[in-house]
Every structure is written in C-alpha cells, then in structure tokens.
Amino acid sequence: MRPESLMMSFGYKPELSEGAIKSPIFQTSTFVFKSAEEGKAFFEVAYGHRKKNEGEELGLIYSRINNPDLEILENRLTLWDEAEECAVFESGMSAITTVLLEFLKPGDLLLTSTPLYGGSDHFIKKILPKFGIDYVSFKVGQTKEEIIEIVNQSGKADKLALIFIETPANPTNDLVDIRGSKEIANYFAKDGKQIYLAVDNTYMGPVWQHPLKHNADLVLYSATKYIGGHSDVIAGACLGSKELITRVKGLRTFLGNMAGPWTGLLLRRSLESLKVRMDTQAMNAEKVAAFLNSNQHVEKVYYLGNLTEKDGAQFEIRNRQCNTNGGMISFDIKGCEKEAFAFLNSLKLIKLAVSLGSTESLAEHPATMTHVDVDPEHRKLLSITEKMIRLSIGVEYYNDIIDDINQAIEIAVLS
C-alpha cells in the first residue's frame, strides 16, 4: 500500500490503548518496568551493550530515549522516503545540528552547497569553527570537476567527512544534483573511509523528492514546513539507514533535543492529510506560475515548472529528482524594493510572513528578510535582488490566490 493509505494507522495497535482509534498522548516522563529483569534487558539494548534479539523491540524506559508518540510518528515518516529508520527532533535546526555534530569532528572538512537555509549557514560558519571544523562551499550549477577542484584547493581534501546540500535552493529553485554529490563523496572516500551525503529536503517535503533513492545517506526535514503544514508546530526529522540513525539517536539522547509527545500528536495528525495538501499546493502553484509568467509587470519567474531543455543540466536534474514542480515560486516584480514592498503591503489573502509549506499562502522579501544575512555580493550572484518576492503556495482556491496577487501587483506598479 502507498504511504497515504497507511498514515492513519501504521505503527499503532489500538488494543494496547483501550481500543482508542487514535493513539493517545503519552504525557509521561518515565515508564514502569514489569520486573527488574525487564528493566535490565531494556537498558542493555538502549545503551548498545548487546544486540536486540530476533523480534525484540527497544522497551520503553524514559521519554528522552523513546516515547510511543514519537515512535509511531517516526515509523510513519519512514514510509515516504522508504527509509529504514527515522529520528524526530524538536526543530529542523536541532535535526541538522545533531547530524553535523555526529558526523564531524575537530580537524574535519565539511562540503556544502550554497545558498543554505540561514540557520544552517550560521551554524556552519559561526559555530562549527569553534570546534575546529572547517567548511568549503560550491554554488548551484558548478560541475562535479569544479567542485572536486574546490575541495582539493582547500588543502584538506583528505579530511572531507560530510557533504551537506539543500535542493532546490531557497529562494531561486536552483537544483543541486544529489546523485552527483554522492559521486563526489565517493571520489574522496579512500581506504574504506565513509563520506556521507546529507540532504535538507525541506523545500520539497517527503512527497515530492526522495533523496535516499538518489544515493543520499541522510535526509533532513524541518517538519515545521510541509510535514507539519499548519504553521502551528516547530519540529524536525532525520531519516536514513538503521546504522546511521542509531548514531543520530544516540547523540539526540544526550543533547536531549527530541520532540515532545504533543509534537508527536500534531505531526501524526498532519501526516494524515500530507498527500492531499501537497497535491493541492503543487496544482495551485502551477496555476499561479502560469499567471505570473504571462503578467506584464513580472520580469522573471523562478519556478521548477519553467525549466526546459534549453536549461540543460538543471532540466535533466529536475526530471530525474523531482516528482512535481513543488509549491514554492519566486518572482521579480518590475521595479525595485519600493514596488516589491508595495506589493507585499497590498496583499489581502496571502499573509506577509517567512516560513513555507503551510496550508495558507505566504509571501516574503528574501533580500531584506530570509536572506538578509547573505553577503551582498553573493546575494547579487544568486539573483536575490530588491525586486524579488518569494511565495509559498497554500491550499486556498487558486483563483483567489491569483486575484490577490493580481490586485497587489496593480497597486504596486501604480504606486
């Protein structure tokens, strides 16, 4: 069965909870052992002192280690990415930073794509160096050979330990080749050393792109975005093989940044409608992009659906990696900051806010908001200018979204 058919029931046994059709909230810090022998057996497994026996599951001990609300959520999340295991976190940033800390150590080199989400960028540039961890970056569109050269030029190629990418890039929808990134990892992996590839898949969510199928080792989400999808919860997730997620969960236990049981409930509820929400959002985005493409006051539209054969590698990567054209659209309004701000201030239905992937449509100004921290020269190179507006398309009736954009553009160009 497909994931959307299993989102209401997978991993939950009503007979363990008085027949309740929905899993209750296990608002408990600790769990009672049936006997001292059972407690001993649970701890042996939890601390890796022995392997699980055939069919044995990790027993419930303490909610920082495991909790039914999170376990059921994690099991359901694995279905979309066809991952062996999942770890959920109290935010997307805690998922990302836990992975960076688990797979990097002092002296190591990290390779990243750019631009990255502002929080990830800050952690890599300002926090990791305090632990003696260096980084180099490549830009979307650079070839495999050019990227290999960047790593070699760093003088620390033998220290490369992790590749961290984000695709499509925010806010321009430029694509990074996931399979190609793993080839770069393999190129530098010598003498049995593993170089892992982690992909922040927040922008496409678990329905539209499956990085593990393109040879990524770890996939990361801000579950605050499409997975949560209602702008009412902050959460994160990391998925991959049993071996790697066991490591991630190990560090999570000691950082203590797992999500709480209420987050488990909210995200399980969100997952039931994930597919229908994202289907509608992708369809609405197509209609909105078509409107923007034909509007005389719009200079350029950044949307995956606009890629054609003329775009070469980008078009090929889109066809290989993405199931849809997504729900994120950026566009340049004719003019500059004045017109962009007049547009944003004139919206009636669409809310002026950062974040993305929610049921309500959102608009924001990357140059002065989400991407204000990017070096101005670099920002120009990435085409993030004063006239750019980013839209996250929601589930409203598409003609209402289009009418709102249309009236705001009319006001903006007359201002």
Ligand X SMILES: *Cc1c(COP(=O)(O)O)cnc(C)c1O
Which of 4, 71, 102, 200 contacts ligand X by CB under 6 A?
200
Q: Residues binding ligand X: what is the number (CB under 6 A)?
A: 16
Stretches 23-31, 48-56, 91-99, 299-307: which one binds ligand X (CB under 6 A)?
91-99
**174 interacts with ligand X by CB under 6 A:** no
- Establish if 93 lies at the interface with ligand X (CB under 6 A): yes
> Is residue 173 a contact point for ligand X (CB under 6 A)?
no
Residue closer to ligand X by CB (options 115, 261) is 115
What is the distance between the terminal CA atoms of the chain, rounded to a whole angstrom? Answer: 54
State yes or no: residue 209 binds ligand X (CB under 6 A).
Answer: no
Contact between 177 and ligand X per CB under 6 A: no
The interface region with ligand X, picked from 30-38, 87-95, 268-276, 311-319 by CB under 6 A, is: 87-95
Residue 39 engages ligand X in binding (rule: CB under 6 A)? no
Site string for ligand X, 291-330 (x = CB under 6 A): ----------------------------------------
Maximum Cα–Cα distance for the chain, whole Å? 77
Least Cβ distance, residue 380 to ligand X (angstroms): 22
**Close Cβ partners of 205 (under 8 Å, ≥ 6 residues apart):** 221, 225, 226, 227, 274, 278, 357
Q: Is the CB of 39 or the CB of 119 nearer to ligand X? A: 119
Closest approach, Cβ 234 to ligand X, in A, equals: 5
The residue among 170 and 361 lying less far from ligand X, judged by its C-beta, is 170
**Three-state SS sequence of the chain:** CCHHHHCCCCCCCHHHHCCCCCCCCCCCCECCCCCHHHHHHHHHHHCCCCCCCCCCCCCCCECCCCCHHHHHHHHHHHHHHCCCEEEEECCHHHHHHHHHHHHCCCCCEEEEEECCCHHHHHHHHHHHHHHCCEEEEEECCCCHHHHHHHHHHCCCHHHEEEEEEECCCCCCCCCCCHHHHHHHHHHHCCCCCCCEEEEECCCCHHHHECHHHHCCCEEEEECCCCCCCCCCCCCEEEEECHHHHHHHHHHHHHHCCECCHHHHHHHHHHHHCHHHHHHHHHHHHHHHHHHHHCCCCEEEEECHHHCCHHHCHHHHHHHHHECCCCCEEEEEECCCHHHHHHHHHHCCCCEECCCCCCCCCEEECCCCCCCCCCCHHHHHHCCCCCCEEEEECCCCCHHHHHHHHHHHHHHHHHC
Verify binding: residue 69, ligand X, rule CB under 6 A: no
User: Based on CB atoms, which residue is closest to ligand X, 259 or 298?
Assistant: 259
Q: Which residues contact 191 (CB under 8 A, 6 or more apart)?
A: none
**Which position among 166, 174, 332, 364 is part of the footprint of ligand X (CB under 6 A)?**
166
Point out which span in 26-34, 115-123, 307-315, 385-393 binds ligand X (CB under 6 A): 115-123
Q: Which is nearer to ligand X, 166 or 386 (CB)?
A: 166
Q: Tell me whether residue 6 or residue 251 sits nearer to ligand X (CB atom).
A: 251
Q: Does 370 interact with ligand X (rule: CB under 6 A)?
A: no
CB of 327 to ligand X, least distance (A): 13
Amino acid (1-letter code) at residue 338: K
Kindly state the smallest distance separating residue 235's Cβ from ligand X, in Å. 6
- By the rule CB under 6 A, 178 interacts with ligand X: no
Q: Out of 41, 45, 61, 234, which residue is the one contacting ligand X (CB under 6 A)?
A: 234
Say whether residue 225 binds ligand X (CB under 6 A).
Answer: yes
Q: Closer to ligand X at the Cβ: 267 or 342?
A: 267
* Candidate residues 203, 226, 302, 343; the one interacting with ligand X per rule CB under 6 A: 203
Which residue's beta carbon is nearest to the bound ligand X?
92
Q: Under the rule (CB under 6 A), what is the footprint of ligand X?
A: 91-93, 117, 119-120, 166, 170, 200, 202-203, 222, 224-225, 234, 236
